[in-house]
Structure 1
């Protein structure tokens, strides 16, 4: 029997996807069992089918009395038939079923009495499988509190011990997944993965194929560790199993969490696609539950993709058509409205809905889960930041800070510090803002180091496993050599019996040759081992240097981001427009360098930048920084450049494009700015920044221009050993011709 997923509280299921002792059996499975029971069946088979149908009703979504009554009827029929045919297993399993029925029906006292009967029989007759089922059922009598989980784990360990003695491998594997899920809830994600890996070995050994829930748990645990690429890999495996089983119940949850993983790696397009699938499935499986919650993720991703009109259309059509049943639905509907109207700049309407949400949240605070209140507060804080109500925003942030310590999610705690930094910076509390920013980067770096540590430990395990396999192969070869030697000795003895003198001479020669060969082989083996060890050491040194370089780029990027944040904070308090513009231009220059270090630590290479992607991202940032109405034409050759050339080029582009945006089109008319980076001739490349604006009147003399931007471009051109030119041609064109440094980019 499978370890299944509990859904007593469906919102908890979507938030944590925490497996417990039972999941809902598919409705079509329940209908199929009813049809099978109408046929003429063997009495033993009929008992098992009746008990399975009883389990179907007790584990249906919700805890309706009619379902508990139906479950009891089928369980009772199975018990009576078991007594009639003296089917002891069926009789004993009835006690477990009754316990589940009464417990789900909120009559735990009566359920405990039935469970005690199962324990008494298991102890009296030493029935290990029944003892395991009883301890597993007993674990569900305790809540998910710190003390409750401790007792649950103790019962799970006893159940594991009992099933191990019973030799039920499938049950052991399912229980290990259940065990790992408790560690997941406690925030001990590495311990959870250890239990999942133990379960995986058993599943592989017995050839189990029903593994959707198993891979789903691994997928969500990797997400919590911040290993999003690994999480996405396992998430797709879980979805693949779900599609094969046509199990919409779990598919909705898997697509929902897969969307979160893609969101965290900033692939908003795929995140949106996954959440749309989750939304469609949730309408079929839980039409009265999670539609408004999942819709909230869809709207966030549309806004991240710069599609506010599409988000507004989704809000006004798809979401508005859903029936609002209670205050919880209304809260999530209003949350979506706040996000959309904030994005559209309608702060007054967003403020109205925000006040309503604050009222509804206070009214229902006893009925909202911690994670639900946390996400609602995040939206409230974000809106209060936009309307500059920093004092109230900090109060809600303090509530979230207390909640995050209970949720045990390092990502939530980290983002909480980031929000504190923004609020304190905006309200002028710079000392507290700097402390919050330091805490944010401290946790971010610790998470980064923890992820890298986990990856390194995995590499070490892999290396040790491979080394062990090599040793086994060497031992096998040595064993084969020993067998060959024994066979050779037997032949020698036979020949010695026929021609003693001749055999003695031949045997002496053979033995001497064998000794020489053996000695030579030993030397070769020792030499081979030394070479392999040196190669391994060199590989480890190279890998360590690569990790250190990535860490350096990571830290440099973080420091540049801190500088940009501080400049941004400073600019909000400056009234001199020229000073604000100067700070903004400095931010753009820092960003052009920050983008390079960000790409270096996220990429395979450690010193080369893919120029097409970098230039497009830089232009995108500049477009977001200025209210432009221009068309950009980008023609960049598919080439990588060393950071020593990429940084000057990035700064030149920043200055040239900023200059065109500010001066080429003085009256706000439409125009075109083109950026070209292509091979020119021989080893030369040419960078061009051109516009079709007003240009510069008269003859251009570079030496007469004393602006900082022009001096920067001229100096950076010299750094590239390039030729700097400015031409009036239907606008202004800046050209830098430089030698491409192949030595740095040689692979």
Structure 2
């Protein structure tokens, strides 16, 4: 053996081993730091060293970041680092670290109220460690069971929550895992408190406190304090409850949820005690902390407390202002509910419209019957005139009176029908106006939500969503503004849609030449909406991806009828379809196009000749 080369290699291996051990020690040191801001600062100082470390060390390094950000309530940052852990361990990596990544995302999603997604991630974590025999996996299995109980608690399924909690207590007792038992008894106290069993809740909280102190778990200490304070409050021991709430508030470096819960509960308690000034001071401090950490639910709750406190104080102007802020944040958190409400409203208006249409048809039928009756009466009158001219002359004045009454009745019916038709047209315009306004509300909600999004990709997705909503709103706007409310003037609609999109993406005239060949077609709304969304997606795709920043180009759009089909053609002379789609850009938009085309019984063809050209032939369309 050549020892000249063997000895240097041996010493090199020792150096790498020593470096890995040194990094491991640093991670362990960071793990003992309770203050999340301090922990992140220390982890940042290790960034260069861990950049070239093993996947195992990187995984643990990212976990420390994720846990720190999660403790501070910074959801996006926490999820991002947990996803890095999953990526490093998904293909043949450390199964325990992989389970921790899934479980970490589950915890973060649970705090934001996304219970179904949270449940899915905990189930993935459970699958990873299930039937694994190493002690870490066995202990983590019990921890995941406990987290599942927490989700069912959030979903107000208290029986299921208790079932999983008791199962976790049994597993943790067998494992002699005191730290996990602390979590279990905190959860059991929450469940008992919500069931109204205050004695059991207090006993469980005291058991939790014993394990928390034994294992020095600062994170859990705050939540157990919340439990105990709320138990005291329910038992009427308000002095004890207030003391604990103030203790939670003073812990500025700990868990943000615990601190904000302290502000919220104490402010609520002061309102109940008719002390509005102190409640206002606490709620304002809560707003500042919640804005600083971007925790929207607590910002909403703080404004709710403020308007209640000002109302109690008699300052109704300030109360109204705070109530508006509360509604603003409430709406931004519940935009899905707003959309559902819009759908219900549309169904209601559609029902009213159908009722008016039925009434109008009834009037039309009545008019036809009256006209037939009139014709029959006139025939009989002429017959009687020939047979008994003298009788007719004698009764002439009477007939004139009767005919005058008949004509008056007919005139009244015609006036009623005319008024009904006018009311129907006004109602249709009002419906379209309200739908357009509600779509604008959704657009505003999306715009408001975008202010709190840091990721540019997510911001772009929200902007595309807003453009889709605008394309539908534009149709309803045209219907209530124009005289013909039965159909959409497609040349005018496409002009407006193109102007809106060009403005949205800030495209200047010197960069893009637009040519339109749109036949004067008036489309029914049921055809115009899906076709308008397809046009929106195709134009958006070209405007965003067809041309580089310094490239000029041409965009063409054609719409015409040919051989019993409605043909839409959108083309550009940009980089081409394969280049635009190679990275999966606008894949949702392309999927949406296919879905809408299926609804219209349309065929979709794409060509990649000197740019991109889409040809869509619609078979199932209706003219107005």
- Give the shorter-chain TM-score range: 0.3 to 0.5
Normalised by the length of structure 2, the TM-score is: 0.45
Normalised by the length of structure 1, the TM-score is: 0.39
